[in-house]
């Protein structure tokens, strides 16, 4: 196996563990997320929305050019609409009758399943970026793969927190939150290997993939997280929690 394929796989797996680490702050003694369910959901929504804009939409708009072009914008918007449609269909599929079946109950409630689906989809273009980076590194020796893998690993930590917070608020254990966050990021190493092999095939469709992931996450935030937050908290508290989550994600990724 070529070295850049091995590097892509290892980097993707490490990034998945970094996502799982995002759940660990919820184990802090005295931190009872269940008492503040609405704020927790809104904060997770802010984290996810920021990740959609900062990590997916904006890079997708300038991926192949230094300035935003009309064709790039149309491509990303098309991906966003496809992602929203995909999650809408997933929401329709997860009907109350189907969720009552024993094989679905063990995975959690509807919100938790949709969060898992949206975040797993979001991990695919990140894995592709890692694979393409290591493929480029094998040709140009520019360490691009290492830089991309490190950046994704860092921002996976708050994304793991975004996955874990609603689960913890619903009463899930820390270890269940950890593994859920880990598995939402598992598509990264899975996508990284084929992307490294045939980077020429994946590079042109990256804006669509990034838009698709962003559309799924934004749809999730507006469909499930914000309405769920408003059920148990005031609109003002929900709004502030969302803004704080949004700002926290931006600051973490810029400062680190």
Q: What is the 3-state secondary structure (H, E, C) of the chain?
A: CCHHHHHHHHHHHHHHHHHHHCCHHHHCCCCCHHHHHHHHHHHHHHHHHHHHHHHHHHHHHCCCCCCCCHHHHHHHHHHHHHHHHHHHHHHHHCCHHHHCCHHHHCCCCHHHHHHHHHHHHHHHHHHHHHHHHHHHHHHHCCCHHHHHHHHHHHHHHHHHHHHHHHHHHCCCCHHHHHHHHHHHCCHHHHHHHHHHHCHHHHHHHHHHHHHHHHHHHHHHHHHHHHHHHHHHCCHHHHHHHHHHHHHHHHHHHHHC
What per-residue confidence (pLDDT) applies to 140?
A: 46
Q: Is the entire prediction scored with pTM above 0.85?
A: no
What per-residue confidence (pLDDT) applies to 97?
A: 67
pLDDT digits (tens, 9 = 90+) for 14-46: 888 889 988 888 888 777 777 778 888 898 899
What per-residue confidence (pLDDT) applies to 83?
A: 92
146: pLDDT strictly greater than 80: no
175, part of any domain:
yes
38, part of any domain:
yes
27, part of any domain:
no
57, part of any domain:
yes
Question: Binning pLDDT at 50, 70 and 90, where does residue 242 land?
Answer: very high
164, part of any domain:
yes
What per-residue confidence (pLDDT) applies to 78?
A: 94
Whole-number Cα distances in Å, 208 to 2, 64, 157, 215: 28, 12, 24, 10
Domains held by the chain: number: 1
What per-residue confidence (pLDDT) applies to 44?
A: 87
Question: CA 51, CA 251: separation in Å to the nearest integer?
Answer: 11
> Of 19, 230, 254, 25, which Cα lies nearest the Cα of 115?
19
**Cβ proximity of 19 and 182 under 8 Å:** yes
What per-residue confidence (pLDDT) applies to 144?
A: 67
28, part of any domain:
no
Q: For residue 71, with 0-12 CB atoms within 10 Å meaning exposed, 13-18 middle and 19 or more buried, which class applies? A: exposed
What per-residue confidence (pLDDT) applies to 200?
A: 67
Question: Binning pLDDT at 50, 70 and 90, where does residue 104 land?
Answer: low
Measured from the Cβ of residue 138, the count of other Cβ atoms closer than 10 Å reads 19
109: pLDDT strictly greater than 80: no
What per-residue confidence (pLDDT) applies to 219?
A: 94
What per-residue confidence (pLDDT) applies to 166?
A: 83
102: pLDDT strictly greater than 70: no
> Of 164, 156, 222, which Cα lies nearest the Cα of 40?
164
137, part of any domain:
yes
What per-residue confidence (pLDDT) applies to 46?
A: 92
pLDDT digits (tens, 9 = 90+) for 50-101: 988 988 898 888 876 666 677 788 999 999 999 999 999 988 887 776 666 6
**Domain span including residue 196:** 3-22+34-255
160, part of any domain:
yes
With both helix axes pointing from N to C terminus, report the angle between 187-197 and 3-21 in degrees, rounded to the nearest 10.
160
């Amino acid at each position: 196996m070529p070295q850049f394929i091995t590097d892509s796989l290892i980097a993707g797996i490490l990034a998945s563990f970094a996502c799982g680490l995002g759940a660990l702050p919820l184990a802090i003694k005295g931190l009872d997320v269940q008492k503040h369910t609405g704020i927790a959901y809104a904060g997770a929504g802010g984290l996810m929305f920021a990740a959609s804009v900062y990590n997916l939409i904006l890079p997708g708009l300038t991926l192949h050019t230094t300035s935003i072009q009309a064709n790039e914008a149309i491509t990303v918007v098309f991906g966003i609409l496809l992602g929203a449609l995909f999650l809408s269909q997933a929401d329709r599929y997860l009907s109350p009758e189907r969720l009552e079946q024993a094989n679905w109950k063990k995975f959690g409630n509807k919100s938790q399943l949709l969060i898992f689906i949206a975040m797993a989809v979001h991990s695919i273009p990140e894995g592709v970026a890692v694979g393409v980076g290591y493929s480029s590194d094998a040709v140009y020796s520019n360490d691009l793969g290492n830089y991309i893998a490190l950046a994704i690993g860092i921002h996976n930590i708050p994304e793991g927190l975004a996955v874990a917070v609603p689960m913890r608020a619903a009463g899930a254990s820390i270890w269940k939150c950890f593994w859920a966050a880990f598995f939402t990021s598992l598509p990264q190493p899975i996508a990284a290997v084929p992307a490294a092999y045939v980077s020429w095939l994946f590079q042109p469709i990256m804006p669509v993939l990034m838009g698709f992931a962003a559309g799924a996450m934004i749809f999730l935030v507006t469909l499930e997280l914000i309405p769920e937050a408003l059920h148990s908290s005031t609109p003002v508290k929900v709004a502030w929690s969302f803004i704080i989550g949004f700002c926290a994600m931006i600051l973490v990724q810029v400062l680190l």
